[in-house]
Amino acid sequence: MKHVYFDNAATTQIRDEVITSITEVMRENYGNASSSHSFGRSSKSLIEQSRKTIASYLNVSAGEIVFTSGGTEADNLVLRSAVRDLGVKHIVTSKIEHHAVLHTIEQLKNEYGISVSYVNLETNGHIDYLHLEALLQTESKTLVSLMHINNEIGNILDIERVANLCKANHVLFHSDAVQSVGHYKIDLQEVQVDFLAASAHKFHGPKGVGFAFIRKNSGLQPLILGGEQERGLRAGTESVHNITGIEVALKSTLNNLNKEADYIKSLKQYFIDKIAKDIPKAIFNGCSGDLDMSTYTLVNICLPIPPKKAAILLFQLDLKGIACSKGSACQSGSSQNSHVLTEILSDADLLKPSIRFSFSIYNTMEEVDYVVEVLKEFVE
């Protein structure tokens, strides 16, 4: 049986050089980075080197990078402290954000009584920028939280436009960039976001490590207490090997970005063309079928399959060795749809199965052929 991994938006295969780096650090640099002896200083030096490397790729100062356990923690750190410590009374977001943002905002609303506004969406899933601008006309201290790339449909936010709108209206801007860091070059001197979240395992690094970009003098306070690690913003003994891993992963990815991105784009375009030819009634959800309007790493397709047959689609794909993600939960027996697709699809299309396929440098054209052939057979 073939094995095809098309679920790279969920997590990616770790690069060999990252594994080599991690294992070497685990073997040689096991000192606690908070210890003052040579073993600790050695670990601390690796952490600070990683911080400087990551900061250089984003064109920020090293002190603005705070290592976390991943994107979820980074989002929580920013959102909770913004309300608790910075006096934010109003958050503007969208209904298609990652749950790390939506659930945190809902909890903050319950805890602190903040107001929450949801920006209108176009039928293709893009935000209504004019409505966003209108929502910023408020006397309340406001923070905007909008993701750079949607993790389900791949739509790309005009992050620079939003940053400029926020700056013009004296509003804070946080962006979950988990699906874009490592896949796009981001210059945070040109794009004036205040806060940004990233996660290593989305760009061929280890799980369990990410970072928050926190623009200097923001006033943010720690979410996790108990030590002075990460300049007092994130207590807990640092995971030195993972932090080294995220540095090596980002360095490898960005140093090879043009070549690798072109290759992945060719895979996505080939997949789009094959689907259009072999399953012409399939629909690309959001803007995922448009390489200019969505990330080059994923597509989300709604298949012309009746609900009863849709219930076994993911099971059948798994039997064929194909790993992907559901875009609509109907076919898995769940009573709830994807919150993203619920906002943009018709009731009729929500009854059909939607599947997200996401690509990496480790995928091939032959794998695309195999997956489309399996889908075509199932549809027919």
* 225-246 confidence digits (pLDDT tens): 999 999 999 999 999 999 999 9
Q: Which amino acid is at 244?
A: T
376, two tokens: 């075509």
The answer to whether the CB of 180 falls within 8 A of the CB of 295 is yes
Residues 107 and 85 in one domain: yes
Is residue 308 very low, low, confident or very high in pLDDT (cuts 50, 70, 90)? confident
> CATH number of the domain that 302 lies in?
3.90.1150.10
Task: Give me the mean pLDDT over the 270-287 stretch.
Answer: 97
Angle at 33 (CA atoms; ends 215, 203), nearest 5 degrees: 55
Is residue 335 very low, low, confident or very high in pLDDT (cuts 50, 70, 90)? low
For CA atoms 191, 197, 200, 202, the dihedral sign is negative
Which residues are bridge partners to 65 per DSSP?
A: 213
- Domain boundary pick from 255, 290, 314: 255
Judge whether residue 55 has pLDDT over 70.
Answer: yes
Q: What is the pLDDT of residue 226?
A: 96
Residues 249 and 263 in one domain: no
- Domain boundary pick from 221, 255, 289: 255
Entry pTM? 0.95
User: Count of CB atoms within 10 A of residue 20's CB?
Assistant: 11
Q: Which amino acid is at 153?
A: I
Is residue 103 very low, low, confident or very high in pLDDT (cuts 50, 70, 90)? very high
Residues 359 and 246 in one domain: no
280, two tokens: 């012409």
Residue length of the chain? 380
152, two tokens: 């389900």
Judge whether residue 109 has pLDDT over 90.
Answer: yes
Domain membership of residue 58 (yes or no) is yes
Residues 213 and 273 in one domain: no
Q: What is the pLDDT of residue 334?
A: 52
CA distance 139 to 31: 50
Domain membership of residue 366 (yes or no) is yes
Residues 119 and 265 in one domain: no
CA distance 67 to 94: 26
Domain membership of residue 47 (yes or no) is yes
Residues 116 and 175 in one domain: yes
Domain membership of residue 282 (yes or no) is yes
Domain membership of residue 63 (yes or no) is yes
Residues 226 and 327 in one domain: no
Residues 32 and 133 in one domain: yes
Residues 221 and 337 in one domain: no
Domain membership of residue 5 (yes or no) is no
- Domain boundary pick from 255, 270, 286: 255
> CATH number of the domain that 186 lies in?
3.40.640.10
Half-sphere exposure of 234 (CA within 13 A, CB side): 23
CA distance 126 to 129: 9
Domain membership of residue 11 (yes or no) is no
CA distance 93 to 103: 12
Domain limits at 99? 16-255
Q: What is the pLDDT of residues 116-133, one digit of tens each?
A: 999 999 999 999 999 999
Judge whether residue 1 has pLDDT over 90.
Answer: no
Q: Is residue 259 classed exposed, middle or buried when 0-12, 13-18 and 19+ CB atoms within 10 A define those classes?
A: exposed
Judge whether residue 328 has pLDDT over 50.
Answer: no
Residues 217 and 179 in one domain: yes
Residues 263 and 237 in one domain: no
State how many domains the chain has: 2
Q: What percent of the chain has pLDDT over 90?
A: 93
Kindly name the residue from 166, 287, 324, 330 that is annotated as catalytic: 330
Q: What is the pLDDT of residue 332?
A: 44
Report the side by side order of strands in the sheet with 210-214. Answer: 65-68, 210-214, 195-199, 172-176, 142-145, 90-93, 115-118
127, two tokens: 């935000």
Q: What is the pLDDT of residues 168-227, one digit of tens each?
A: 999 999 999 999 999 999 999 999 999 999 999 999 999 999 999 999 999 999 999 999
Closest CA to 278 of 154, 374, 363, 153: 374
Pairing type for strands 298-302 and 283-284 reads antiparallel
Task: Give me the mean pLDDT over the 50-64 stretch.
Answer: 98
Is residue 330 very low, low, confident or very high in pLDDT (cuts 50, 70, 90)? very low
Domain membership of residue 306 (yes or no) is yes
Is 324 considered catalytic here?
no
**Which residues, 6 or more positions from 192, have their beta carbon under 8 angstroms from its beta carbon?**
163, 164, 166, 167, 173
Residues 234 and 355 in one domain: no
